[in-house]
């Protein structure tokens, strides 16, 4: 059996391979996604059977020779066709590219004060759609922003940055964002936008790129009206505003409010019902400041405030409901996992990131080690756990303060606390009575909280900031001129 010749093509979101080999008058081909070769089978084409029965080919040997020549000719034609389509011949299979990292984001126009909240699941649909339109290219690299770190420190007269010093970090962030704006908004291609630009924080999709996307999407909607979807329409409406207002910047979510009762994203006569709201860092800080201003935030006593930023297991039992929450679950854990009596699951709600911990009982010695949250939502053990955990902890996650204000722990320490219906109502009343200026988006999500039995709070990542991003950036990214300061 001869070894197949392999060809690959990487463009947009597609990573394809195609192989071909000839065995006498048999031609074998296979194709599929790079990295999924085991799921694809070779297809055989028999050129001996394709030759018509005639006097010229009564002799089987003559017929077989002709079939081999036909197979070889067809093989050459197919290879040339693939090369014209952009496939390149390779000696060995390539590794599939890393998956794009989707997060909940808030897109903010550079001018005009326009913004768009998109939760992770819907943003992934939008990005996949733009990749399909060949507006985004996942293989285009962006300028490395880490190179601006030293210049920012030099401007501030610092030798190094202390990430624990919030004032220093704020000054550093403002400086580096100012001097790196050219790199953050730089166009890489005239007819495509790097997919990473739509996903990485602090990147700017400039006016030219917005116009490029607007024109292509508009043409697609005119030609294929059935391609319209609610999340696509929301993005297109925002793009219409952003292209005339300096482009837009990518802000990662600091907090997400989503309705307790499931509510669909809908559109009626151009008006959207959005069952969530994304807060970036600045918006979230202004929201907390507003709660303080209208006396609707019940802060932790000073001696207990440290627990908000540390392991909640060490929190004061009298103030935080963490202990009761964990004890309530631990008492029922074996019942929830009756099929696996040797395993207990408990949720340890960490101030930095959501984690599930697996606890095993071996000779009555409790050992604990982290179990990452499965990415696959169909993972049965995780689905069972979260469903039952949500039911068992609903009361304590919804409980309000006797003062009528929102307890600080609901907004600062962990995921999945619930701003109950009464708290949403109190917020709406407090905003109206105080005459505080706030966005229509906030009013609408609070009104949905009243009608949909409350809002669930979700922290995508409490501690992610510019300093973390720069230190996560790989040095292998494409550099651009440093003389544009």
pLDDT-derived band of residue 483, with 50, 70 and 90 as boundaries? very low
Task: Looking at the structure, tell me whether residues 410 and 289 fall in a common domain.
Answer: yes
Task: Looking at the structure, tell me whether residues 201 and 290 fall in a common domain.
Answer: no
Number of domains in the chain: 3
**Residue 348 is assigned to a structural domain of this protein:** yes
Average pLDDT of the residues in 468-478: 45
pLDDT at 368 over 80: no
> For position 311, what pLDDT does the model report?
36
pTM, full prediction = 0.68
Q: Considering the chain, what percentage of its residues have pLDDT values greater than 70?
A: 71
The Cα–Cα gap between 448 and 314 comes to: 35
Task: Looking at the structure, tell me whether residues 177 and 288 fall in a common domain.
Answer: no
Instruction: Tell me which residue range forms the domain holding 36.
Output: 5-90
Q: What would the pLDDT profile of 261-270 be if each residue is shown by its tens digit?
A: 888 888 888 7
**Residue 23 is assigned to a structural domain of this protein:** yes
CATH number at residue 50: 2.20.140.10
Average pLDDT of the residues in 443-454: 94
Lowest average pLDDT, out of 133-137, 310-314, 393-397, goes to 310-314
Task: Looking at the structure, tell me whether residues 153 and 227 fall in a common domain.
Answer: yes
pLDDT at 99 over 50: yes
pLDDT-derived band of residue 52, with 50, 70 and 90 as boundaries? low
pLDDT at 65 over 80: yes
pLDDT at 8 over 60: yes
Task: Looking at the structure, tell me whether residues 311 and 450 fall in a common domain.
Answer: yes
> For position 116, what pLDDT does the model report?
96
Average pLDDT of the residues in 158-164: 85
How long a stretch of residues is the chain?
Answer: 485
Q: What would the pLDDT profile of 29-38 be if each residue is shown by its tens digit?
A: 988 888 777 6
Higher per-residue confidence, 119 vs 98: 119
**Residue 358 is assigned to a structural domain of this protein:** yes
**Residue 480 is assigned to a structural domain of this protein:** no
Three-state secondary structure readout of the chain: CCCCEEEEEEECCEEEEEEEEEECCEEEEEEEECCCHHHCCCEEEECCCCCCCCHHHCCHHHHHHHHHHHHHHHHHHHHHHHHHCCCEEECCCCCCCCCCCCCCEEEEECCCCCEEEECHHHHHHHHHHHHHCCCEECCCCCCCHHHHHHHHHHHCCCCCCCCCCHHHHHHHHHHHHHHCHHHHHCCCCCCCEEHHHHCCCCCEECHHHHHHHHHHHHHHHHHCHHHCCHHHHHHHHHHHHHCCCCCEEEEECCEEEEECCCCCCEEECCEEECCEEEECHHHHHHHHHHHHHCCCEECCCHHHHHHHHCCHHHCCCCCCCHHHHHHHHHHHHHHHCCCCCCEEEEEEECCCCEEEEEEEEECCEEEEEEECCCCCCCCHHHHHHHHHHHHHCHHHHHCCCCCCCEECHHHHCCCCCEECHHHHHHHHHHHHHHCCCCCHHHHHHHHHHHHCCCEEEECCCCCCCHHHHHHHCCCCCCCCCCCCC
Q: Mean pLDDT across the chain, nearest whole number?
A: 77
pLDDT-derived band of residue 214, with 50, 70 and 90 as boundaries? very high
> For position 190, what pLDDT does the model report?
93
pLDDT at 370 over 60: no
Task: Looking at the structure, tell me whether residues 86 and 112 fall in a common domain.
Answer: no
- Of 90, 118, 148, at which residue does a domain stop? 90
Higher per-residue confidence, 130 vs 393: 130
Task: Looking at the structure, tell me whether residues 355 and 318 fall in a common domain.
Answer: yes
Task: Looking at the structure, tell me whether residues 441 and 343 fall in a common domain.
Answer: yes
Q: 139-169 burial, b for 16+ CB within 10 Å, e for fewer? A: eeebbbbbbbbeebbeeeeeeebeeeeeeeb
- Of 90, 114, 143, at which residue does a domain stop? 90
Average pLDDT of the residues in 12-28: 85
């Amino acid at each position: 059996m001869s070894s197949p010749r392999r060809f690959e093509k990487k463009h947009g979101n597609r990573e394809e391979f195609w192989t071909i080999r000839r065995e006498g008058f048999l031609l074998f081909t296979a194709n599929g996604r790079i990295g999924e070769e085991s799921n694809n089978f070779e297809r055989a084409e028999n050129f001996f059977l394709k030759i018509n029965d005639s006097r010229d080919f009564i002799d089987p040997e003559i017929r077989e020779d002709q079939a081999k020549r036909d197979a070889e000719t067809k093989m050459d034609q197919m290879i040339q066709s693939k090369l014209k389509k952009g496939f390149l011949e390779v000696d060995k299979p390539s590794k599939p590219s890393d998956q794009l990292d989707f997060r909940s984001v808030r897109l903010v126009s550079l001018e005009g004060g326009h913004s768009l909240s998109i939760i992770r699941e819907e943003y992934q649909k939008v990005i996949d759609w733009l990749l399909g339109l060949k507006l985004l290219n996942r293989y285009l690299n962006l300028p490395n922003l880490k190179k601006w770190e030293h210049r920012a420190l030099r401007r501030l007269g610092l030798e190094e940055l202390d990430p624990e010093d919030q004032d220093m970090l704020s000054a550093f962030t403002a400086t580096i964002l100012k001097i790196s704006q050219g790199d953050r908004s730089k166009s890489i291609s005239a007819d495509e936008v790097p997919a990473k630009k739509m996903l990485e924080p602090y990147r700017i999709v400039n006016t030219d790129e917005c116009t490029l996307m607007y024109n292509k999407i508009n043409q697609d909607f005119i030609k294929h009206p059935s391609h319209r979807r609610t999340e696509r329409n929301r993005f297109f409406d925002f793009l219409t505003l952003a292209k005339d207002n300096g482009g837009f910047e990518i802000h990662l979510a600091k907090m997400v409010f989503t309705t307790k009762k499931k509510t669909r994203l809908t559109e009626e006569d151009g008006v959207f019902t959005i069952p969530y709201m994304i807060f970036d860092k600045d918006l979230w800080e202004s929201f907390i400041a507003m709660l303080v201003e209208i006396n609707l935030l019940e802060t932790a006593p000073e001696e207990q405030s440290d627990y908000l930023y540390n392991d909640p297991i060490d929190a004061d039992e009298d103030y935080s409901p963490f202990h009761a929450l964990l004890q309530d679950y631990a008492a029922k854990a074996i019942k929830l996992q009756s099929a696996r009596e040797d395993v207990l699951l408990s949720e340890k709600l960490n101030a930095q990131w959501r984690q599930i911990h697996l606890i095993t009982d071996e000779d009555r010695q409790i050992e604990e080690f982290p179990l990452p949250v499965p990415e696959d939502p169909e993972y049965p053990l995780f689905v069972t756990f979260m469903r039952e955990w949500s039911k068992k902890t609903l009361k304590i996650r919804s409980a309000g303060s006797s003062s009528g204000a929102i307890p600080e722990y609901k907004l600062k320490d962990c995921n999945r606390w619930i701003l109950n219906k009464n708290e949403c109502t109190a917020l709406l009343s407090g905003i109206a009575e105080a005459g505080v200026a706030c966005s229509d988006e906030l009013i609408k999500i609070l009104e949905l909280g009243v009608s949909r039995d409350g809002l669930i709070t979700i922290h995508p990542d409490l501690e992610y900031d510019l300093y973390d991003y720069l230190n996560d950036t790989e040095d292998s990214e494409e550099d651009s001129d440093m003389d544009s300061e």
